Structure 1
Amino acid sequence: MEVVPEGNIAADGQQTANDEIENGGEDRVEDTPDGGKVITTPGGYRFFLDKLGRTIRVMAKLKSNRNQKRSKKEQLEAGGEYRLSSDEGGHILARIFNGPLGKYNHFAQDRNLNRGKYRTLEKQLDILLQTEQDVETEIKVFYRGKSLRPSRLRIKVSIDGRKPMIVEFANRKYGI
């Protein structure tokens, strides 16, 4: 296991330093037997990457941080050559939840989904955090072939340890 400053995962799976480091801490990066990586942020969020460097799963007990910055560079580059003209650089974990600035937390997201249903879910979860409820989430990200642009996301949310609800979004207009 190596500890490196939060930053970008290059195409070869290597981490590169970012200009700003989340909360002044360092990410912990572990290799997996299948050639992927597990990145644990200083806040305890866990990002699971496949051997292509794509985030395939995130586990997090959400925390609020309305002062978290954006990585405009990562938002603009999300999805690479697979990015569509209707896409924006979205966050898997929103910056209001102290979502990390690294490449692994960004994806090419349909503009309507980003500004519509996905944002609505983020706002609902933020309200729960503001009322001091515990919000745990597991996000699974699905891809077609070797694309860097996800085709869909499945989000499981548990509030105060109750039975989780599951929401699924296709990465296209209106999320359906």
Structure 2
Amino acid sequence: MGLAPVVQPSEISNEAGALEFKFNPWHDTENGQFTFKGQGQRFAGGGGSFGGGGASGGWSKPKAPKPKNDGGNFRGGEPGGDQASRSWDGAKPTTPPTKPLAKPLAKPIEVRTKIVRTTVPKVLETPVERPLPTTRKISAGGYDFEVDEQDRTVRASGQLRLQPDQPRSRDAQTNAGKPNREQNDHGGHFIAREFGGPEISYNHFAQNARFNLSEYRVIENKWKKALKAGKRVTVDIQADYTGNSRRPDWIFVFSNIGGIDEIRRMPNKK
């Protein structure tokens, strides 16, 4: 296979001739020379030294070597063995030493959690009625209207009644809220004509078309249904303006339907 032939120890030679590497434990007791197995006396091997300076010196008893303090246990050759055997137990630890734990802090770290309580203003579900400016009262069609110094209706109130098929005042509807009327505004009624609301200008305001046909219409239909059911319905409608504008920004509706109060705050926009 391409490997060099194995050379037996007896075949190794030097300039002086062949060297005997085999160990023969048998000695002739008379002349001290090696002999064959079973003849002479057997001497134990295992690391002993041949003493006396020659063949007649015989074998000296081997001394046990001193164990080295290398962290392991030393075991020398045992008498009667063919060779001395040495093994080191524990010379090199198989398990790496455990890394020492970090030195504990002299004083534990104190962790504090601060709870911040934020005060959130409570949202009023119902509007607070603000004091009205100096007004004058105008009564028409069984309802009362309060008008401020700028001749703007700030309040319309009364007990509703069903009075269908009433004509409308086109002029009052067209001029409601001018000059602050917006392009998508209708000339809306504080109290609808079907409830007997008068045709006077004070019963009109510039009302967003979407608001007029949706939110405001929903509450008017509720009043109509209650009246048809024979319930008593009273209303108090208030308008809130910004600055000198003649177009209200908010409409507050306080109503009592069959003894149950309801309050609504509605913006005058889509």
TM-score band, normalised by the shorter chain?
0.7 to 0.9
Shift of 1:99: 0.8
State how far apart, in whole Å, the 1-side matches of 2:262 and 2:222 are: 13
Q: What letter is aligned with 1:38? A: K
**Pairs within 5 Å for 1:1-176:** 34=134, 36-43=135-142, 45-162=143-260, 164-173=261-270
Could you say which structure has the higher strand fraction? 1
State how far apart, in whole Å, the 2-side matches of 1:169 and 1:113 are: 9
Q: What letter is aligned with 2:263? A: I
Q: Percent identity?
A: 36
State how far apart, in whole Å, the 2-side matches of 1:41 and 1:97 are: 13
Q: What letter is aligned with 1:39? A: I
SS at match of 1:75: helix
Higher relative contact order (CA 8 A, sep 6+): 1
State how far apart, in whole Å, the 1-side matches of 2:155 and 2:236 are: 7
Q: Which string of whole-angstrom CA distances, capped at 9 and with x for unpartnered residues, describes residues 22-78 of structure 1? A: xxxxxxxxxxx93x32011242x1111101111111111101110221001110110
Contact conserved, 2:166 with 2:194, CA < 8 A, in 1? yes
How many residues are matched?
138
Structure number, greater radius of gyration: 2
TM-score calculated relative to the size of structure 2? 0.50
State how far apart, in whole Å, the 2-side matches of 1:110 and 1:42 are: 25
Shift of 1:161: 2.6
Q: Which string of whole-angstrom CA distances, capped at 9 and with x for unpartnered residues, describes residues 69-104 of structure 1? A: 100111011011100001111001011111110000
SS at match of 1:81: coil
State how far apart, in whole Å, the 2-side matches of 1:152 and 1:130 are: 29
Could you say which structure has the higher helix fraction? 1
Contact conserved, 2:156 with 2:203, CA < 8 A, in 1? no
- Stretches (4+) displaced over 2 A: none
Q: What letter is aligned with 2:239? A: V
SS at match of 1:150: coil
Q: Which string of whole-angstrom CA distances, capped at 9 and with x for unpartnered residues, describes residues 93-117 of structure 1? A: 0111111100000000000000111
Contact conserved, 1:68 with 1:99, CA < 8 A, in 2? no
Structure 1 gap segments, 5+ residues each: 1-32
